Each structure stands twice: as C-alpha cells, then as structure tokens.
Amino acid sequence: MNLRRTPEERAALERAKRTLDTLDFYPEPVDIARVRILHVPRLFKLPWFRRFHGYNMGPLILIKRPLYQCAPSLIAHELCHVWQDQDHRLRMWWSYIAQGYSNNPHEIEARKAGAAAA
C-alpha cells in the first residue's frame, strides 16, 4: 500500500473539497490534510459492505473500485462524511445507530454534496 497520496488522489480530494466549499453545511471548511482515499476491494465483498461503493471511516475514504473509475460525486459524497466527522463525530456516528441509513440526515446531506459534484 502506498503511504503517500498519489497525484490522482490529491486531485480527487481537491476537486471534492472545491465542491464542498460551495456548500454551507458547517462553520469550518473540510480539512483534507490527513484524508486518504484507499482502494480496498476485498472489504466490499463482506456482507455489510456489499451494498456500498465507498465508505468513510474518520479520515479514510474506502472505495470499491480504483480511483480512476470512481465518479467525482462518490468522492464528494464520502468527503462530506469526513466533514461531518470533523464537525461532530459522535453525533454523526450515533445518528446511524439511532436512525438507520436511508433517511438519515447525514446521508441526505452527503447525497446533496454528491449531486453538487455531478
């Protein structure tokens, strides 16, 4: 695994950040300094992850397909989750436990971020 960001990864994060910077979801802009995008296809073969194309874990954006095959909307969606985590980590994670996935306000917000990148 590459420990440094590739130019492609940096460009994808910067492009997604530019999209999120147009949104006023939180007082502070998303900080991409420690964010990584990792291609981990085996993770998405596990039952819980099969339905996802991307997944956020703190500063990590995990993707099913190689980055060059991912739409900018997916990266913006997942970076929005990073932003949520940076702004209010416990409340964000608890909301998925308490409210589920489909109609979760954090998921709806991330979908809006993805749509803004499309």
Q: What pLDDT sits at residue 4?
A: 86
Q: How far apart are CA 69 and CA 74, in angstroms?
A: 10
Quickly state the pLDDT bin for 1 (edges 50, 70, 90). low
Torsion of CA 113, 118, 16, 1, to 10 degrees: 110
Q: What is the mean pLDDT of the chain?
A: 94
- Rounded to two decimals, what is the model's pTM? 0.93
Regarding the domain delimited by 7-117, which CATH topology (the fold level of the hierarchy) does it fall under?
Zincin-like (3.30.2010)
* pLDDT over threshold 90, residue 18: yes
Find out whether 35 and 82 touch, Cβ atoms under 8 Å: yes
Q: Is the pLDDT of residue 74 over 60?
A: yes
CB 23 within 8 A of CB 112: yes
Q: What are phi and psi of 38, to 5 degrees?
A: -120, 130
**What is the rounded (10 degree) CA torsion for 31, 34, 39, 41?**
-90
Describe the crossing of helices 105-117 and 7-21 by its angle, rounded to 10 degrees. Answer: 110
Q: Which alpha helices (DSSP H) does 7-101 contain, by range?
A: 7-21, 72-99
Tally DSSP H helices, then E strands, for the chain.
3, 3
d(CA 92, CA 63): 20
Question: What's the confidence (pLDDT) of residue 2?
Answer: 60
Q: Which of the four pLDDT bands, split at 50, 70 and 90, describes residue 93?
A: confident
